[in-house]
Structures are given as structure tokens and as C-alpha cells.
């Protein structure tokens, strides 16, 4: 089977300390991370496309070049005059990482402002992936546009996959966050939440409660990730549990969930075997948490393609 995987969201410039007062520059963002791992795991007859908006300056040019080099398509990336990508910086103090963000005015905030382009990209794709962060950075009007377009894709029988990726700091209030994330799930066929986020922000008392809530909203399938505890799946109404892989030394958990999603979707699209796809994704995510950074080099992932 071949097809096109479309990931929609924001990628930012990442700055991290490189010693001796130097900073290292990278690119990362939840939906781009998932596109990166989907690209790593999908066979060559699948294309992976990133849908976002960028500016018209050097950093946006570099990002486009970076995507292309990774084999991630840039056909639908709109360039906005006078804008630039968002930026974040990772600080390390006593072994604890903290993040500072400069993204309020990023080009990606307008990614859904061109509804026609969004529709064209979704119509040209077989699988659409977006997240709660994608929804959080948009104006209410643009979030409604995106939701309407993914609803159309779901109604047309496409796989619409959504990771709630709950980040309260990005939302103007709790009510707005709860409502919009629930709308995102309702517009999707597959929801991929992380249990600790759902328990904290939706008050779910168990993984079963998370599954039940998203199924009631209208998602057919749910994969609840739970860190080192493993993942619980509800596919076509059938539940299964897939343990996490043992990791000798956890180095950096950034992108654990994003990589799991990308690897899971890639393998599921090829085999339609959800538990086997989750076992594969657990292996990839285990490698990702054993290395530094959001985007781990593909040769370190030990992938044997389906």
C-alpha cells in the first residue's frame, strides 16, 4: 500500500547549551517530530508531507532545506512576508531541563488562515495528523477552519489521528482548552493521548476512563501511552495492552510520545495490526529516550521496515 501522510502543526527553532557559552541550533516541534519518525519508519512508496506556515527569512529557508533533506515534503508550506518561525531554548539546571518560548508571533500561528490550501493538502492525503498544540496556537476562527477540514477528511473515510498533547500554558483558559481538545478528538478517527496529561487535566481516574471519554466523543480508536508502563489500545472496540521496552538508561524523554505516534502510524498503515504496531512503536520510543534531542538520527533507531 502506498499513500501520503500529512502532519499539520508548528516546528520551532531549538536552542540548547553546547558548553563554553555556545548555543546549538536545531529544529523541533511535536508534529514535525512525528513526521520525522513516520518518515523513518514508512516505506519509500509513502510520502510524508509537513503542513505549516513559515516566514520569508533565512531561518525559514533553513527549515525547508532541513525538511527536504529528511525526505519530508514541503509542497504545502506557505511563506508569510515579514514573519519568522517560533523559537525555544532549553536550559539545564541541576540536571533538570526547563524551556523558554518565543512563539507568540510565529508564522505557524497562521497555518490555517489559507483554508483553500489546507483543504487541498488534506484532499491530497490519505492520513492526516495534528495535535492539541496545533489547535492551541491558532486563532479561534482558524481552529474552526482546521476542525472543519479534518472533519471532512474523517467523513471521507481517511484516517485522522490526533494527539491531545495538552499544554495549559498555550491556552487562554481551561474551558477553552477542554472544549477545543474535545472537538479535536471528535473530529478524529484515532486519538493518541498520554495518560498522565489526561489524568492531570481531564481528571481521568484510569486509562479505561480516558479510552471511554474519547470513544464517547466519537473517536473509533484510542491508544493511551503511559510512559515506562506501556500503552493500552482500543481498536475496533477491542482492548489490548502492549508493554514498554526496558531502557537501560533514560537520557532524554523529549519526543517519546511523538516518536511513538510516528512509528505506530507508520507500521499500522502498512499492516493494520494495531498491537504489533504498538510493540514496534515502543521499541522506537525506547531508542529515542536513550538518546539526546527530539529528532534522533534514523540509523540509531534500529528500524527494520514492515
* Minimum distance of ligand ADP from residue 225's CB (angstroms): 3
Q: Which lies closer to ligand ADP via its Cβ, residue 42 or residue 285? A: 285
The H or E element that residue 142 is part of is helix 140-155
> Where on the chain is the footprint of ligand ADP (CB under 6 A)?
194, 225-228, 231, 244-245, 247, 250, 253, 256-257, 260, 282, 285-286, 289
Residue 31 contacts residue 6 (beta carbons within 8 Å): no
Q: Which lies closer to ligand ADP via its Cβ, residue 34 or residue 145? A: 34
* Minimum distance of ligand ADP from residue 34's CB (angstroms): 11
Active site residue 30: no
Residue nearest to ligand ADP as judged by C-beta position: 257
List the end-to-end C-alpha distance of the chain, in Å, as a whole number.
11
* Minimum distance of ligand ADP from residue 47's CB (angstroms): 25
Cα 33 from Cα 47, distance rounded (Å): 15
Q: Which lies closer to ligand ADP via its Cβ, residue 48 or residue 282? A: 282
* Minimum distance of ligand ADP from residue 67's CB (angstroms): 22
Q: Which lies closer to ligand ADP via its Cβ, residue 105 or residue 249? A: 249
Distances (CA, A) of 242 to 164, 228, 231, 252, 269: 20, 11, 5, 22, 18
Cα 6 from Cα 129, distance rounded (Å): 6
Q: Which pairing describes strands 190-191 and 159-163: parallel, antiparallel, or unpaired?
A: parallel
* Minimum distance of ligand ADP from residue 54's CB (angstroms): 25
Q: Which is the catalytic residue, given 126, 258, 273, 304? A: 258
Cα 163 from Cα 146, distance rounded (Å): 15
Question: What single string gives the DSSP state of each residue in 198-267?
Answer: HHHHH--SSHHHHHHHHHHHT-SEEEEE-GGG-EEEEETTEEEEEPPPP-S-----TTHHHHHHHHHHHH
* Minimum distance of ligand ADP from residue 191's CB (angstroms): 13
Cα 51 from Cα 240, distance rounded (Å): 32
Q: Which lies closer to ligand ADP via its Cβ, residue 47 or residue 131? A: 131
Cα 111 from Cα 119, distance rounded (Å): 12
Residues noted as catalytic = 258
Amino acid at each position: 500500500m502506498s499513500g501520503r501522510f500529512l502532519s499539520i502543526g508548528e516546528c520551532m527553532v531549538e536552542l540548547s547549551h553546547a558548553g563554553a557559552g555556545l548555543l546549538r541550533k536545531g529544529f523541533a516541534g511535536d508534529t514535525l517530530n512525528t513526521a520525522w519518525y513516520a518518515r523513518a519508519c514508512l516505506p519509500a512508496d509513502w510520502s510524508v508531507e509537513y503542513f505549516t506556515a513559515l516566514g520569508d527569512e533565512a531561518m525559514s529557508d533553513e527549515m525547508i532545506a532541513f525538511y527536504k533533506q529528511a525526505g519530508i515534503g514541503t509542497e504545502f508550506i506557505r511563506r508569510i512576508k515579514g514573519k519568522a518561525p517560533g523559537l525555544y531554548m532549553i536550559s539545564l539546571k541541576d540536571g533538570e531541563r526547563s524551556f523558554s518560548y518565543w512563539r507568540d508571533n510565529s508564522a505557524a500561528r497562521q497555518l490555517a488562515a489559507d483554508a483553500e490550501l489546507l483543504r487541498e493538502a488534506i484532499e491530497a492525503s490519505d492520513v492526516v495528523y495534528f495535535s492539541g498544540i496545533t489547535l492551541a496556537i491558532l486563532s479561534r476562527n482558524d481552529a474552526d477552519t482546521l476542525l472543519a477540514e479534518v472533519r471532512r477528511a474523517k467523513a471521507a473515510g481517511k484516517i485522522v489521528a490526533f494527539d491531545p498533547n495538552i499544554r495549559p500554558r498555550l491556552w487562554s483558559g481551561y474551558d477553552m482548552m477542554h472544549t477545543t481538545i474535545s472537538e479535536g478528538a471528535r473530529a478524529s478517527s484515532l486519538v493518541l493521548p498520554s495518560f498522565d496529561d489526561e489524568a492531570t487535566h481531564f481528571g481521568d481516574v484510569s486509562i479505561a476512563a480516558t479510552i471511554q471519554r474519547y470513544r464517547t466523543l466519537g473517536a473509533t480508536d484510542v491508544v493511551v501511552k503511559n510512559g515506562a508502563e506501556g500503552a493500552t489500545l482500543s481498536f475496533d472496540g477491542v482492548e489490548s495492552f502492549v508493554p514498554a521496552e526496558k531502557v537501560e538508561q533514560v537520557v532524554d524523554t523529549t519526543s517519546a510520545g511523538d516518536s511513538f505516534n510516528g512509528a505506530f502510524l507508520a507500521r499500522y498503515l502498512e499492516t493494520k495490526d494495531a498491537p504489533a504496531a504498538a510493540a514496534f512503536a515502543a521499541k522506537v520510543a525506547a531508542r529515542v529516550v536513550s538518546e539526546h534531542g527530539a529528532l534522533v538520527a534514523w540509523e540509531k533507531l534500529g528500524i527494520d521496515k514492515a
